[in-house]
Amino acid sequence: MAPAILSGVLVSEIGLRGGISVCGSLLAQLGATVLYFETPGGKAGVRTQCAAGKLSLLLKEDGHDRALLEAAALRSDVVLTSSDIDPPQFHVKHPASPANIVCDLTATGATGPMRGLGLTELQIQALSGIMDTTGFPDGPPVACSIPITDILAGTYCAAAVLAALRVRRLQGIGQTIDMALLDCAFAALGPFLSSVLTTAQGGKSRLGNRHPTVAPWNLYRSRDGWVLICVGNKGQWERLCALMDRAELSTRFATQAQRMENVSIIDEHIGQWTRQHTTAGCIARLVEAAVPCGPIAPMDSHPREDNLAYRGMIRKTRDNASGEEVFVPGSPLRMSLTPGSAPGAIPAPDQDRRQIERLIPDRPPGGPAPDPARLKPALEGIRIIEIGQYTTAPLCARQLAHLGAEVIKVEQPGGDESRTWVPHLGGRSVSFQLNNADKRSIVLDLRSAQGVATLRQLIGTADALVENMKPGTLAKFGLSPAEILRINPRIVYCAISGFGADSLYARRPAFDMVIQAMSGFMASVSDGPVPLKSGISTADTMGGEMAVVAVLGALEFRDKTGLGQYIDLSMQDICAWLTHSAWNGAQAPSSVGRLMACSDGYLMVSSSAGHLGDPDFGAEMKRLTRAEAAARLTARGLDAVPVLSVRESSLSPQVLHRRLWFTMPDKDAQWPVLSSPIRLTATPARVSRLAPAVNADGDDILSGIASPRTPVRTRQKNARPKAGHP
């Protein structure tokens, strides 16, 4: 059996934020030993699922436990903290040792005018713009009951830790990672930012179940319920029109811009058709026509969906604290040689104290760091081939590019479909630009023998291949996973699809909202009679993020063993995994915050005080601006933050200070660019160039294929760096 990717890596999970526990859980799934330090108050909202498979120690307020914590921080490979909310007994030096990695997840990061504010999950949803994007156009913002910013940030933390471990192994230096919930939340706003950052009107905020740049994309009434339909390209639109026997619509609204301008008319035509059929009948017809669609999966003790059960995402384990069996999600990291470990038992608080007390003194502390001037980007020398459209594979490849990898984007003749998405600037799609910075482009026609032959040559030179085509597409061209690994036994091949290649629905196309629906996510978010998706593309974003984690982990394994592997990532698995806080009948606490209407928008207010429910009090607040109401509430000892629109968030001092977006010039235009939320302080991720034009680098890439690449030399053991080791 292959060794686990992080075998021998010791992680001290000290921080109290839910995102820290998410990060620790992913590292444990990859084989790390995770020490789960707890306080008597516990880690509310995440303990049951995220503690599974970890070693628990309940910290007492005495000298012995303080010394034990300091020793763990000094001797661990990775320390996970959340310094803005951790109590004093949890505080450790950053870094605790020059050779270890300290990942500090805070609400707003270590810099900027809002640094140090211990903001909550709902406050970050409000300040980032996420809350204002969720809900219906004629209704108030909706707070997502799933702690989405914590989970987004925790997953990015895991990617950052893996990148930092690579830097330490190859360059002999540890570093601090400055991660922020606000950074990760803002990065997830991409589809909205394409309009907000380039048009005067700034786009719409709450769209219900519509998409900000693509149509038709909505939830429609059927004869007995609901059916989702998401049309992402011209071919799917033409097939839907033919299925409805309305072929004239495909001509009348031929372009994406025309469909967006007439979305209400189109939705009415589709609704007339769906109401004639049952949900099952609609889906059967739509699947036959290869149009992305789906029903709403219910959520009770876990998401009820056949494919999730088939892929092993519905698991039972023992909660040692209660003695009961509970449902927990399986690992979404479906990797052929090093699959994410199944969740172990959930430890009772302090059950592993003796084991931890024996473990920590046996590990040596790290040595001194080398000269920082010699440091190189985390992924320098790594070549990634991306065959992707829309969001997931392009997002994954972009983050890897920002970490220093060379990314070659292979496009079909005519280019990535998302190049057509509105809005446009200078005749080019802003959405495409935001998701494809720092890449090189080559066009290959895989329907031709020459195109396939060239792709095979590229695969032979690559360290990783990332794609999000329908499962089996590459196999049609003679490039099955087995053949790709035969061509290049060292390659990491990561395939991202809606439901997985090994799936009950392998041939179904799927987009973000279909996955939100069929994973239990929409059932968890909804608080009314109409199911509701999150405003941000949660499934797409999490699919891309998890792919970064999987690829970085598999590269670590490849460097230790020389073996590549195949990764079968399912967006449905990933989206179900992130709903874990709603499993086993858990409910979001009703006392953590509530919305309050003001004359110019909404506030998110802590609702511990009973008078917030007083109608007279609410009427008074409606006459005030958000700033005036917040001042009055603060004077009464309540926390109140404004629910910002995406535009307001993009112009906020904290966002601008952290340069979460900035502009880069190209000919006559200033293009908006998104920074990477992965903040390695010693080897930072960087954005260096705009997205390429179609086939901009084709000739250069083709001429370089014939020149053999020198493989990156890596250490074969994941040992601690020694003093003076380069």
Which residues carry out catalysis?
540
For the chain, how far is it from start to end, CA to CA, in angstroms?
32
Query: Which token pair is 619?
Result: 């009427």
- At 432 the three-state DSSP class reads helix
CA angle 361, 362, 365 (to 5 degrees): 75
Helices 538-561 and 148-171: crossing angle in degrees, nearest 10, is 20
> What distance in Å separates the CA atoms of residue 367 and residue 352, rounded to the nearest whole number?
28
Residue found under tokens 């390209």: 233
CB contact set of 356 (below 8 Å; sequence gap of 6+): 35, 55, 57, 68, 72
Name the residue among 518, 527, 526, 508 with its Cα closest to residue 575: 518
Residue found under tokens 């290049």: 488
Query: Which token pair is 381?
Result: 């020398």
In this structure, what DSSP letter does residue 204 have?
A: -
Name the residue among 721, 724, 693 with its Cα closest to residue 364: 721
CB half-sphere exposure, 424, CA atoms < 13 A = 9
Other C-beta atoms closer than 10 Å to the C-beta of 270 total: 21
Query: In sequence order, what are the beta bridge partners of 269?
Result: none
Name the residue among 329, 265, 185, 281 with its Cα closest to residue 650: 185
Residue type, 41: G
Buried b (16+ CB within 10 A) or exposed e, 308-327: beebebbeebebebeeeebb
> What distance in Å separates the CA atoms of residue 514 and residue 505, rounded to the nearest whole number?
12
Task: State the DSSP string of 205-272.
Answer: S--TT--SS-SSEEEEE-SSSEEEEE--SHHHHHHHHHHTT-HHHHHHT-SHHHHHHTHHHHHHHHHH
Query: Which token pair is 436?
Result: 């494809």
